[in-house]
Chain A
Amino acid sequence: MKRPVQLLRTAVVGGASLAMTLFLTACGGSEDAAGGSGTIHVLVYGDATNKVEKQLVDTFNKTSKVKAVLDTIPGADYQSKLQTIISGKQAPDVFFNWGGGSIKPYVDAGLLMPLDDFVSKDPELKSAFLPSVFNTAVVDGKPYGVPMRGTQPVLLFSNDKVLKDAGVSAPRTWDELLTAVKALKAKGVTPIALGGGDKWPTQMWFQYLYDRVAGPELFQKAVDGDKEVWASEDSRKALGKLKELIDAGAFGSNYDSVKFTDGGSPALLATGKAAFELMGSWEYSTLQDAHPDFVKSDLGYGAFPTVEGGKGDPANIAGNTNNFYSVVKTTKHPEAVAEFLKLMYSDEFVKAQLAVGNLPTTANTPKFLDTAANPAYSTFQYDLVKKAPAFQLSWDQAFPPAATTTIHQAVQQFFNGQMDTDAFIAAMQSLPAA
């Protein structure tokens, strides 16, 4: 009795899978056959800003025959995944990067398309962006990237409720910061949240102190291959200041078990277990996603404190100048890519970035500043970036990737005491030049 039913079922299942296979094959075939159409793959760093990239890809696909596909790689794995696929068949057409040092090896290997042609056809692809930012992705005199997110200066964020409870105001100088640390410790609060497990948040403290104490020239010399600067008076002075802060217990004792990437350190700030966090401007969208109420009520932010007697201009900033879209030379649809890149200075792009707390670096940005999610925050950043005489690119982006591990280990070991000043200097002197 059962047999005919089973037979029927087998026939249906078999037929269905056969039909599906044929259907899929047909789909695969039509894509190549249609000539003008096709896809371009856009690869970006996976985080909260992806919704803006998604929106722009959708906008692009409404009018374009060639469809854009957005691929994301979660933050921590981005660089290594990119390196392994960029010279192969899986290479994206357009990809996210940090400009300068992060694309230099690809330019050297002849993998990237110089954007001169695009710019000569549409001069706005260059003129619509602030020159200082656009120039970060100029390698050997040729442009290789178009700014595609916001500028990301590193700021000192705070929980203003915690500060108020401890009777502390936002510190403007290094000494005020040390005083605030003492007052907060007395209140039983971790003064500064630090995602030491990720290591690059630790590095941010070095970037700012070196810039404040020695000015941007010291680090620039180091990147250019002058190893002696690490052993200079200024270098030791910067390390001494930092040591003072660490020894004052500013970061608590378990920061190396905390991470920014899993939401640990922002949560410390938002829940009032810590008072400050030094973080890139993306902290705003991260907090808005995870702790919207805190952003509304108690989130404070300010520039890094000045250091008395330092050689660096107190208006200098550090961080990521912007992120960039670069184009892989082997792309089959350069015209479509050029059209896609033009969206990066569109009004829609500027509005969408501002809405998530990012600050675009296009010429049309100022007229939309009041549409930002938090106009005060965006205006503060915009003024900060505009007035900054120097914008220090993150250390691990300025040096080639081969140096990253050593830098990250050294900053962590200096913080936890495994390296003293001399050992740290020796570690930095062992870095390869860019």
Chain B
Amino acid sequence: MTTATAPAVDSVEKPGTRRRPSRTGTGVGRPGFAWAAPAALFFGLFAIVPLALVLVLSFTRWNGLGSPEFAGLENWSKLLDDPVMVKSLWLSLLLTVLGVLVQTPLSILLGVWAAGHQRNRAVLSAIYFVPLLLSITAVSVLWRAVLDPNFGVPSQATWLFGDGNLFGVQAGALGVLVFVSTWQFTPLHTLLYQGAARAIPQVLYQAAQIDGAGRYRQFFHITLPQLRNTVITSTILMVVGGLTTFDTVLILTQGGPGTDTTNSAYYMYQKAFKSFDFGAASAIALLLVLVATLVSLVMVRLSGYDKMRSTMEGV
């Protein structure tokens, strides 16, 4: 964040001069490694070490009792031939893409609207925020009850839900999963966009008004471009959340009907804690790590996020 705003400050203070690479001699030292040590230690202990252990486990046969047996590449070769594994990867991607497509427009609109300082907006924003405060497990149990085909909403709205077999067909079950995540997580992204929208300098809108731009032009030509970095941040959060969707699947669909909502995270759980095949589960976990890393690399590359271009240039 500091690197992003620094050039703007420089350019205000000394217009026309080139940005200096560093500010040595001002007396403020840059943080050394000691500053990062606690975080690095924590990350090492709770991320790197378990990851290494999972890598080892993925080459073994282990049911949780006794000690693991070395199995060579068995888990990996079985995994690549497993149609459910391939399907689960596609389902993970589908859930992610649907999540981003549904949540992004909703939260941009809500966030920009909530950025206004009117009192009613403040009150409503507070109410919109409530779903985020509830535990995802409680939310899933709640929606499962609300969507019960015989005693829930579908039984009263047959014109919309038909026989109410939402959890018995793939489209219905996926729809419920996307809907429940949207219901819960849109407030978080709304909050991001609200903050970002408030940070847009008013002078831009004033200038646009003088030039005769209406509200729609202002939205598309000022607000949206100014939210660019927030869109990327929010999308990365959604993608990470989407690829690792688990709690909603566990409580709402258990991967069913059949394997129609068995995404990779749930498949991993099934292998580990239903079939007690920790070797195969570890292989799936690593595969998921690889896919997620690949996806985030591609996203960073495509979006230019790594260059962190300032949206304040020229202001």
Contact = CB atoms under 8 A, between A and B. Distances in A.
A256 B167 contact: yes
A264 B151 contact: yes
A256 B274 contact: no
B270 A257 contact: no
Nearest to B267: A405
Contacts of B258: 409, 412-413, 416, 418-419
B64 A416 contact: no
Interface stretch (A80-88, A324-332, A366-374): A80-88
Nearest to B258: A413
B5 interface: no
A253 B165 contact: yes
Contacts of A401: 274-276
Given A264-B151, A273-B150, A405 B274 contact: yes
B66, B147, B163, B257 — which one has the most chain A CB atoms within 10 A of its CB?
B257
A364 B301 CA distance: 75
Contacts of A255: 168
A267 interface: yes
Interface string A184-222: 000000000000110100000000000000000000000
Interface string A244-269: 00000000111111100010100110
A256 B150 contact: no
A411 to B, nearest CB: 10
Contacts of A105: 63, 65, 276
B273 A412 contact: no
Number of contact residues on A: which range applies?
35 or more
Nearest to B144: A262
Interface string B159-175: 00001111110000000
Given A197-B256, A409-B259, A416-B168, A257 B148 contact: yes
Contacts of A8: none
Given A83-B276, A86-B65, A405 B270 contact: yes
Contacts of B259: 409
10 contacts: A109-B66, A197-B167, A254-B149, A256-B165, A256-B167, A258-B150, A267-B151, A401-B276, A402-B63, A402-B275
Given A413-B258, A416-B257, A252 B65 contact: no
Contact of B256 (A258, A262, A404, A412): A412
A84 B141 CA distance: 24
Interface string A47-85: 000000000000000000000000000000000100110
B240 interface: no
A223 interface: no
Contact of B66 (A87, A258, A402, A412): A87
Contact of A87 (B65, B144, B164): B65
B275 A404 contact: yes
B257 A84 contact: no
A419 B53 CA distance: 38
